Structure 1
């Protein structure tokens, strides 16, 4: 994640996709399979029922991996053939909604986990209780992920993959600054102390920055880290305008004021370039990121001497709360082959397929047994094993932020106010007060 608020912005875009159906036609590329004009179930030449599986995994890395999983499933039985349809990330969900409205949806689609309940409420995703009553696979997954798929107690999607946020740090920079590389910061106070010691200046210019909290993760992750919960409690009461949230925002702004806009923007530009990332060159000593950040280190800075640890906690005993997202496999409402789709989803989220995906992609998976198996994979280097094991351990303190069905697109009401705070045109209190009122009004409209 490279830009401030990036995961909230992604969720906002997804909810906008969910808010209405645009007039798109479904993809008709060489890998897709469409039902015939009478919407009858399609069979291949061998008599297998053909189901259409939509993903946005079209890169040269991920596409071969998902297609290998599909091929293995197709060869594992003689009743179902899965066809893969790739659609770009920016198109897949608008086209899915259009296909649902037209009565001709795919049979399985990969979708955002944090908006699963919203799609269940809107009857865009199929209620899976009919399958789970006979085949309860809920205990395969991290409880936090499973709970995110529920609407009124029923699941509308099966968890596939996930992520978390951790702290990467440069061990050589620690030694140079007189810090123990085996004792990274554990609290916010230590984070500030270490960062100050790691800062390195030549005149007015920084040769190295110790840490900046809004590179890699957004302000909302720090709010979550401090509070141990999201903006909403279990009854969807809004908890935005709080004294702790005000304190956290002001704390974040002290870092911005300390380095100044020129330095912050200059480093951000380097971060955006990936290969020229200041963490790779030693110009940035610590950064909070998803564990998959390791793959960039592996590819662009293989000799970097680094460590990884959980996010520092607000204060001792507060908890090292982290944030995660992820994706689910859903059966869109109106699928003509729901039973066959369910059989494929079971395979897709079982240990073998999940372990293969985890190791080949260096990606956190939803299946607990598969995640633990991947952490012991001999295919990982020593550094890779270190990072992946930390990622698996970190799931115990990782929270998701499902979008409440009564507050779709709520983040678009908070982010502009917080942006104005960081720009200096609002106080933290003013930004939080306005956000609280705006979200409360949104909930009233949807109740």
Structure 2
């Protein structure tokens, strides 16, 4: 979640700047200016950040398949690094020469709609209503004032991976993972293995793999903002959750937490792979690292434990959308490509080849049955698909575009010990309320 917050804040800041620039708002498509190749096909420029040796061939195969499926449109792929793509997109929009399709963060789609950076897609959806293809939570995140400004492409969720052999070693049933926070803590203490003052194995640490905000979401079953965009973070339950999270750090100590975090960051030397960490909350794509670096690991996967019995196993997810930037000269052709990109065939192909959660429900369910997955792969992917039913997104409200930048520093101060949980929550409540007042 933290990576998403970084570029959401960046996009929000640039949006506020560029929205005041001369010539920023451009018109919709202009067929007169549309690029046409020597074969008479409309050429559209498709920007992504998928440049790895795994993902680039997959997206380019989808593009090739689309180009060969019809004789009116040619899609050209432009790769830009993750840290550059959205700043360059905003600059291109401001200059009146944007790409025709761009992959963008789903949680800031409404913000881009408000700032006229992404095109209102209602003109296309009136003719081709494809909204039912997607998980409702994802579709709703694309809406601003009732209209969609992006079509969901892929997504994710958060689940709990656990080491079955470690469970057996300490007398825990490997087929009965923890279901509540109380059990999670009980199991972790049993799974801890110490040699003197050092840990040979840590049972679990809640802030490896996911952040404090996911635990707050899990406990409350909703984000800080309700359906009417009322903001609430300063609550007794949130105070309890933060204090609970800090007890884990106090128990293990900063040196252990930092040492394990360094191993986690190395990926290949991840402590879960060699049994030094018994449980970790992660996105389902974590399985690909297990597959590559610890193929013999005996592990299981389950939904995040619930705050208390009956509270619900709420999880968090993000994702990306395919957008037509405001000012695209080839909007109709771009729409045809987006329909293909988010339909079952392309979505299932992306899901299976990348082991990635995708937005199209039918494609996700088909991918879960793929014979290209191993037994372990099928187990994890089926859990990922099932978990979408209890996965929430946290779209950035247009009234508080950079609210997380006001909350995170307070939480950092709390975990460092320079603020109490109550102080951190009170300050966060006040800071965000003041931001909302500025934007109303």
- Provide the TM-score with structure 1 as the length reference: 0.94
- Does the alignment pair 1:271 with 2:264? yes
- Does the alignment pair 1:15 with 2:12? yes
2:292 and 2:10 map into 1 onto residues whose CA distance is 30
User: What is the CA-CA distance between 1:8 and the residue it aligns to?
Assistant: 3.2
**Residue in structure 2 matched with residue 293 of structure 1 by the alignment:** 286
Contact 2:11 2:87 in 1 (8 A): no
Contact 2:45 2:78 in 1 (8 A): yes
Cα RMSD over matched residues? 1.2
1:39 and 1:18 map into 2 onto residues whose CA distance is 28
Contact 1:313 1:320 in 2 (8 A): yes
**Residue in structure 2 matched with residue 26 of structure 1 by the alignment:** none
Contact 1:21 1:94 in 2 (8 A): no
2:67 and 2:3 map into 1 onto residues whose CA distance is 37
**Residue in structure 2 matched with residue 412 of structure 1 by the alignment:** 405
2:140 and 2:188 map into 1 onto residues whose CA distance is 37
- Does the alignment pair 1:94 with 2:87? yes
Matches within 5 A, 1:28-43: 40-43=33-36
Matches within 5 A, 1:242-261: 242-261=235-254
Matches within 5 A, 1:333-344: 333-344=326-337
Aligned to 1:376, what secondary structure does the other structure show?
coil
**Residue in structure 2 matched with residue 309 of structure 1 by the alignment:** 302
User: What is the CA-CA distance between 1:11 and the residue it aligns to?
Assistant: 3.2
Aligned to 1:111, what secondary structure does the other structure show?
strand
1:20 and 1:431 map into 2 onto residues whose CA distance is 29
- Does the alignment pair 1:364 with 2:357? yes
Structure 1: runs of 5+ lacking an equivalent: 23-37
- Does the alignment pair 1:174 with 2:167? yes
User: What is the CA-CA distance between 1:114 and the residue it aligns to?
Assistant: 0.2
Q: Deviations over 1:339-398 (max 9, x none)?
A: 000000000000000000000000000000000000000000000000000000000000
Q: Deviations over 1:272-298 (max 9, x none)?
A: 000110000100000000000000000
User: What is the CA-CA distance between 1:411 and the residue it aligns to?
Assistant: 0.1
Matches within 5 A, 1:195-214: 195-214=188-207
Return closer, same or farther for 1:7/1:186 CA change in 2, 3 Å cut-off: farther
| Alignment match of 2:315 (pick from 322, 331, 343) | 322
User: What is the CA-CA distance between 1:40 and the residue it aligns to?
Assistant: 1.9
Contact 1:44 1:50 in 2 (8 A): yes
**Residue in structure 2 matched with residue 378 of structure 1 by the alignment:** 371
2:364 and 2:103 map into 1 onto residues whose CA distance is 19
Structure 2: runs of 5+ lacking an equivalent: 20-30
User: What is the CA-CA distance between 1:21 and the residue it aligns to?
Assistant: 4.3
Contact 1:167 1:288 in 2 (8 A): yes
- Provide the TM-score with structure 2 as the length reference: 0.96
- Does the alignment pair 1:75 with 2:72? no
Return closer, same or farther for 1:17/1:295 CA change in 2, 3 Å cut-off: farther
**Residue in structure 2 matched with residue 47 of structure 1 by the alignment:** 40
2:40 and 2:4 map into 1 onto residues whose CA distance is 43
Contact 1:6 1:217 in 2 (8 A): no
Contact 2:368 2:378 in 1 (8 A): yes
Contact 1:100 1:124 in 2 (8 A): yes
User: What is the CA-CA distance between 1:10 and the residue it aligns to?
Assistant: 4.3
2:211 and 2:356 map into 1 onto residues whose CA distance is 21
- Does the alignment pair 1:66 with 2:59? yes
